[in-house]
Amino acid sequence: MAHTEQMTLEGRIAGRKHKDIFESIRRRGTVSKIELLDKSGLTGSTLTRTLEELTAQGLILEAGFGESTGGRRPILYEINPHYGYVFGLDLSRIHSRLILFDLRMNKLESRRWAMTEELTPALLLDRIAEAALEMLERHGIAHDKVLGLGIGAVGPLDRESGTLIDPLHFPSGGWANLSIAPYLEHRLGFPVLLENGANAALIGESWSDRERDYRHMLYIHAGVGLRSAMMTNGQVVYGAVDMEGSLGQMIVQSDGPRLWGQGNYGALESYASIPALEHQAQSLLKRGHDSLLARLEPDPERITFAHLQTALQENDPLTVELFTQAATFFGIGLANLLNILHPEKVILGGPLVSSYSGFFHTATRVAVQRTYYYPTYQVVFSHGSLGEEAIVTGSALLVVNRLTAP
Q: Over its length of 406 residues, how does the chain's per-residue pLDDT go in tens digits?
A: 433 444 467 778 888 999 999 999 998 889 888 888 888 888 888 988 999 999 999 999 988 776 766 667 778 999 999 999 999 999 999 899 999 999 999 999 999 999 999 999 999 999 999 999 999 999 999 999 999 999 999 988 999 999 999 888 899 999 999 999 999 999 999 999 999 999 999 999 999 888 787 889 999 999 988 989 999 988 898 877 766 668 889 999 888 988 878 889 999 999 999 999 999 999 999 999 999 999 999 999 999 999 999 999 999 999 999 999 999 999 999 999 999 999 999 999 999 999 888 999 999 999 999 998 878 888 999 998 998 899 999 999 999 999 988 7
Closest by alpha carbon to 159, among 198, 120, 125? 198
Burial of residue 168, with CB atoms counted within 10 A of its CB: 0-12 exposed, 13-18 middle, 19 or more buried: middle
DSSP designation for 345: E
Residues 59, 197, single domain; the answer is: no
Residue that is last in its domain, among 79, 97, 118:
79
Residues 300, 331, single domain; the answer is: yes
Split into its structural domains, the chain has a count of 3
Residue that is last in its domain, among 63, 79, 95:
79
Q: Is residue 153 part of a domain?
A: yes
* Alpha-carbon span 300 to 175, nearest angstrom: 29
Q: Is residue 8 part of a domain?
A: yes
What is the model's pTM?
0.89
Residues 197, 254, single domain; the answer is: no
The domain that holds 272 is classified in CATH as 3.30.420.40
Residues 132, 72, single domain; the answer is: no
Residues 196, 251, single domain; the answer is: no
Residues 341, 306, single domain; the answer is: yes
- Residue 129 domain boundaries: 85-204+390-402
Category of 190 on φ-ψ map: left (φ > 0), alpha (ψ -120 to 50) or beta: beta
Q: Is residue 25 part of a domain?
A: yes
CA atoms in the 13 A half-sphere facing the CB of 58 = 7
Q: Is residue 101 part of a domain?
A: yes
Residues 379, 239, single domain; the answer is: yes
Q: Is residue 372 part of a domain?
A: yes
Residues 301, 331, single domain; the answer is: yes
Residues 9, 149, single domain; the answer is: no
Q: Is residue 109 part of a domain?
A: yes
